[in-house]
């Protein structure tokens, strides 16, 4: 293993890989990515639903989406590796007037930034998503350029391109300490030895707080379990003695019931679905709770009755990395040479292209070329109030 590097990146998920790739494009190739698992992207990156959307309440997050989705659309041409990317759209269901009014304001902001988002009626939503029930829905929003991308493909594309430019990746290598001298980063201690460096990127996702403590910092990121279920292939149901299709969307449109956070989209022959649990405390628990599935089903069948008799073929749990305001942290953090990219609160994968580019420019140049990173600064938490992302699923 190398014992020196210009930049050491802690975490080999989509964020770490994106930062490495973008650093190489700026002429910084003496990079080491440290991943404690046997493969890259085995943490939160590999356990998310792959959703990609423009529909956020924060203008800063929408700007991240605009750049990132443009990258996904041209990923093979730009990065050099193909990915699986389907733009069938995101459909938000709104069940009360305050949420509808807030989304109207969001749509105005998104349109001002050039995003084509529509305000639709509940009947429009039913036409978009076969089998959807809209009882109690007062309005919906839809963006056709939102969609579903492949987290593993994106991560490996960034990582392979970075490696081709000179970056090194060390798997099954855990960081055990971070040393500083005279107020700046000096070295990283790992289970395979020490690496002298003047720049460390904390891209550890849900474990960002633990890595921060090694440098003497309290990073306000907490892990929360999120569970995802995929049904068995939807078969046929019978009505009045005739075979009819079990009603469910044929496309991969992502439908989100905003009030409950229940979401679903087509996944192969089945349906992928999930929901957050507001009563669950922070933890690193990644086991599947079948008791929670019962609670989820009670909500799910109200919106997509086809789920009532569907068997579960696959299920897993991953971790959201939440900050107090549900906004990410991107940039330097108190100790010279220590940088953060994390706390994306459930929307990290989809923002990895833009976020990685921004942090790479900050590391290499001292500032991002064309992006106001103030909403993402580490020191914002010391201020009385901060902008909050409201559209967290």
Written as one string, the DSSP assignment of 13-54 is SHHHHHHHHHHHHTT---EEEE-SSSSTT-SGGGGS--EE-S
Domain limit, last residue, from 302, 322, 342: 322
Contact 391, 90 (CB under 8 A): no
Q: Considering the domain boundaries, does residue 212 fall inside one? A: yes
Please tell me the predicted confidence (pLDDT) of residue 250.
Answer: 87
Please tell me the predicted confidence (pLDDT) of residue 242.
Answer: 38
Please tell me the predicted confidence (pLDDT) of residue 49.
Answer: 75
- What does the pLDDT look like over 154-180, one tens digit per residue? 999 999 999 999 999 999 999 999 999
Contact 202, 220 (CB under 8 A): no
Q: Considering the domain boundaries, does residue 71 fall inside one? A: no
pLDDT in tens, the chain (393 residues): 999 999 999 999 999 999 999 999 999 999 999 999 987 866 666 567 789 999 999 999 999 999 999 999 999 999 999 999 999 999 999 999 999 999 999 999 999 999 999 999 999 999 999 999 999 999 999 999 999 999 999 999 999 999 999 999 999 999 999 999 999 999 999 999 999 999 999 999 999 999 999 999 999 999 999 999 999 998 544 343 333 445 888 899 999 999 999 999 999 999 999 999 989 999 999 999 999 999 999 999 999 999 998 999 999 999 999 999 999 999 999 999 999 999 999 999 999 999 999 999 999 999 999 999 999 999 999 886 678 999 998
269 shares a domain with 131? yes
Single pTM value for the model:
0.94
Number of domains in the chain: 2
Q: Considering the domain boundaries, does residue 113 fall inside one? A: no
196 shares a domain with 295? no
Please tell me the predicted confidence (pLDDT) of residue 35.
Answer: 96
243 shares a domain with 273? yes
283 shares a domain with 243? yes
Determine phi and psi for 302, rounding to 5 degrees: -70, -35
273 shares a domain with 184? no
Please tell me the predicted confidence (pLDDT) of residue 106.
Answer: 98
309 shares a domain with 271? yes
Give 361-368 contacts, CB < 8 A, sequence gap 24+.
Answer: 361/22, 361/26, 362/330, 362/331, 362/332, 363/7, 363/19, 363/23, 363/28, 363/199, 363/201, 363/339, 364/23, 364/26, 364/27, 364/28, 365/26
318 shares a domain with 237? yes
Angle at 262 between CA 260 and CA 264, to 5 degrees: 160
Domain limit, last residue, from 307, 322, 337: 322
301 shares a domain with 213? no
Q: Considering the domain boundaries, does residue 251 fall inside one? A: yes
Q: Find the CATH number of the domain harbouring 132.
A: 3.30.9.10
Q: Considering the domain boundaries, does residue 189 fall inside one? A: yes
318 shares a domain with 231? yes
Q: Residue 143 in 3-state DSSP?
A: strand
Rounded Cα gap, residues 85 and 379, in angstroms:
35
Please tell me the predicted confidence (pLDDT) of residue 256.
Answer: 98
Please tell me the predicted confidence (pLDDT) of residue 383.
Answer: 80
Domain limit, last residue, from 322, 344, 371: 322
Q: Considering the domain boundaries, does residue 41 fall inside one? A: yes
Q: Considering the domain boundaries, does residue 166 fall inside one? A: yes
The range of the structural domain enclosing residue 277 comes to 123-139+223-322
Q: Find the CATH number of the domain harbouring 187.
A: 3.50.50.60
Q: Considering the domain boundaries, does residue 162 fall inside one? A: yes
CA 236 to chain centre: 34
- What does the pLDDT look like over 59-93, one tens digit per residue? 999 999 999 999 999 999 999 999 999 999 999 99
189 shares a domain with 161? yes
| CA nearest to 145, candidates 220, 77, 55 | 55
Tokens 């969001």 belong to residue = 106
242 shares a domain with 199? no
- What does the pLDDT look like over 165-220, one tens digit per residue? 999 999 999 999 999 999 999 999 999 999 999 999 999 999 999 999 999 999 99
Please tell me the predicted confidence (pLDDT) of residue 46.
Answer: 58
312 shares a domain with 193? no
Please tell me the predicted confidence (pLDDT) of residue 110.
Answer: 98
């Amino acid at each position: 293993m190398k014992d020196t590097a210009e930049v050491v990146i802690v975490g080999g998920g989509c964020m770490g890989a994106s930062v490495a790739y973008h650093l190489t494009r700026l002429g910084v190739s003496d990079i080491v990515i440290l991943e404690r698992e046997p493969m890259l992207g085995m943490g939160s990156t590999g356990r998310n639903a792959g959703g990609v959307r423009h529909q956020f309440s924060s203008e800063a997050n929408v700007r991240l989406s605009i750049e990132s989705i443009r990258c996904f659309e041209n990923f093979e041409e730009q990065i050099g590796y193909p990915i699986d990317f389907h733009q069938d759209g995101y459909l938000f269901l709104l069940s009360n007037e305050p949420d509808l009014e807030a989304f109207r304001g969001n749509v105005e902001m998104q349109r001002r930034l050039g995003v084509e988002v529509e305000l639709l009626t509940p009947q429009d939503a039913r036409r978009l998503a076969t089998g959807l029930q809209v009882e109690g829905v007062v309005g919906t929003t839809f963006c056709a350029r939102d969609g579903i991308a492949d987290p593993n493909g994106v991560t490996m594309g960034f990582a392979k391109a970075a490696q081709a430019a000179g970056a090194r990746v060390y798997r099954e290598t855990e960081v055990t300490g971070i040393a500083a001298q005279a107020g700046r980063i000096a070295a990283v201690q790992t289970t395979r030895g020490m690496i002298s460096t003047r720049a460390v990127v904390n891209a550890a996702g849900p474990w960002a707080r633990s890595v921060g403590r090694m440098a003497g910092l309290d990073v306000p990121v907490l892990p929360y379990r999120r569970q995802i279920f995929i049904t068995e292939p939807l078969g046929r149901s019978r009505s009045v003695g005739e075979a009819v299709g079990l009603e469910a969307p044929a496309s991969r449109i992502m439908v989100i019931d905003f009030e409950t956070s229940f979401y679903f989209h087509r996944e192969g022959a089945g349906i992928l679905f999930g929901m957050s649990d507001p009563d669950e405390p922070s933890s690193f628990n990644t086991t599947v709770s079948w008791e929670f599935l019962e609670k989820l089903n009670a909500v799910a069948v109200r919106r997509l009755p086809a789920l009532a008799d569907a068997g579960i073929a696959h299920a897993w749990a991953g971790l959201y990395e939440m900050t107090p305001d549900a906004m990410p942290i991107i940039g330097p953090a108190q100790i010279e040479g220590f940088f953060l990219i994390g706390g994306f609160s459930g929307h990290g994968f989809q923002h990895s292209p833009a976020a990685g580019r921004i942090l790479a420019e900050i590391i290499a140049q001292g500032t991002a070329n064309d992006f106001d990173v103030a909403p993402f600064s580490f020191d914002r938490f010391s201020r009385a109030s901060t902008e909050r992302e409201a559209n967290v699923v």
